[in-house]
Amino acid sequence: MDLSSLLVQLRTDYRDIAAPVPDLYEHEPSAAEAARMIAKAHPAVIAGSFSPCKDGPESRDWGEPQTHKSIFHEDGNEASRTCSIAVTDDGLADSVRRPAEGRSTFVKPLEARMTMVDFLSQIEEEASGDVLYLQSQDGNIYRSTDGPSQSKPELAPYQRYIQSNIPWMDEAIGHPAEAVNLWIGTSRSTTSFHHDPYENIYHILSGSKTFTLISPIEGLWLRQTFHPSSTLNRDSSGRLTPRLDEPPSSVPWVESLEVPKGVQSIRINLQKGDTLYLPAEWWHRVDQEEGPGGIAVAVNYWYPAAVHSERFAYERLARRLAFESGMPVIPPADLDDESSVSDIS
């Protein structure tokens, strides 16, 4: 039996045990249930029974733009506070493109600074212009440690309404959330396939989100390769075009937005009030739909993920076998040291 056949058998063995659907909790988990959920490392949906809002889920209409504008006006000096907004021409803030000459590049969005009022006013005009998405991450509401400037998170005004931690996750993991983030956008914003090294609790405040999930084992077939980095800039005509970073870095990313043939994915649609537990290292792409107020709003909590020595070793072995079999997989040595690969895309 060749290596390719062995890898297909690995995927089959996984499917024999893993459920093809998420686990479902119709109640808020206890710490013990959360610990079992994390140990199982399988996606789970907490259906409408949990809220990260300090005053409960119905305390504010999060789908109404005026709610967010008023939060920044409650303190006199907050109205002029700016936040980082991802600006793109196609709604894909981090993705791989192939310009006319055919060379692939990992494209980051143009980062614009604007007030919440300006952002929400402009988002109503997205149909005829740029696609705007508040997705600054890295703890835009709370972060475990302040940055070099020791400044407050840029969305600190939301701290009056959003919890800094989730008690049952804190107890299950033994550590508070490292970052709490707010996301505001429209259906024009989406993502490409990627994975994060955190245990993720993702809650829908307004609108809906559709997650397409792929397990780490199935992810071996995603064709992840390195691409030189670039950033969107405005050209002389005002259009957004990628410009190669100076110096460019090599970014490991998945180019295709589609689930590869033969790969089993889990598709989850989350409505207002639903919460997703997304295990660390699971591949995912996200689409969204606006609520009645014209925006989709979510908050997520990133918790540190434990390193399981056996899972770590098995994953690296599978990646080495896939690379040796000729699959377009980045071997562990190159993921550990991206500088060792100049361009294999």
Q: Which of 8-22, 114-128, 186-200, 317-331 has the lowest mean pLDDT?
A: 114-128
Contacting residues for 263 by C-beta, under 8 A, at least 6 apart: 214, 218, 221, 222
Comparing CA positions, the residue from 207, 255, 202, 237 lying closest to residue 92 is 255
pLDDT of residue 126: 66
Mean pLDDT of 240-260: 93
Mean pLDDT of 323-340: 81
Residue 293 pLDDT exceeds 80: yes
Q: Write down the pTM of the prediction.
A: 0.93
Instruction: Give residue-wise pLDDT tens across range 77-114.
Output: 666 788 999 999 999 999 999 987 778 999 999 999 99
Mean of the per-residue pLDDT values of the chain? 91
Give the count of beta carbons closer than 10 Å to the beta carbon of residue 127: 8
The label of the residue with tokens 């361009």 reads 343
Comparing CA positions, the residue from 258, 190, 197 lying closest to residue 222 is 258
Q: What are the contacts of 5-11 at 24+ separation with CB within 8 A?
A: 6/321, 7/220, 7/318, 7/321, 7/322, 7/325, 7/327, 10/217, 10/318, 11/217, 11/218, 11/220
Extents of the domains making up the chain? 3-340
Mean pLDDT of 293-319: 94
Residue 148 pLDDT exceeds 70: no
Mean pLDDT of 177-200: 96
pLDDT of residue 341: 38
What percentage of the chain exceeds 90 in pLDDT? 79
Residue 335 pLDDT class (50, 70, 90 cuts): confident
User: If phi over 0 gives left and psi between -120 and 50 gives alpha, with beta otherwise, what is residue 294?
Assistant: left
What distance separates the 2 farthest-apart alpha carbons in the chain?
70
pLDDT of residue 78: 62
Q: Which of 68-82, 107-121, 200-214, 232-246 has the lowest mean pLDDT?
A: 68-82
Residue 58 pLDDT class (50, 70, 90 cuts): low
Residue 146 pLDDT exceeds 60: no
pLDDT of residue 72: 86
CATH topology of domain 3-340: Jelly Rolls (2.60.120)
Mean pLDDT of 306-316: 92
219 vs 221: CA distance, rounded Å? 5
Residue 59 pLDDT exceeds 80: no
pLDDT of residue 342: 36
39 vs 54: CA distance, rounded Å? 28
Residue 125 pLDDT exceeds 80: no
Contacting residues for 269 by C-beta, under 8 A, at least 6 apart: 208, 209, 210
68 vs 299: CA distance, rounded Å? 13
Comparing CA positions, the residue from 242, 285, 221, 283 lying closest to residue 104 is 242
- What are the distances in angstroms from CA 221 to CA 158, 286, 310? 40, 19, 21
Q: Please provide the distance, in angstroms rounded to a whole number, between the alpha carbons at the two ends of the chain.
A: 29
Residue 11 pLDDT class (50, 70, 90 cuts): very high
H-run or E-run covering 105:
strand 105-108
Q: What's 33's DSSP letter?
A: H
pLDDT of residue 241: 92
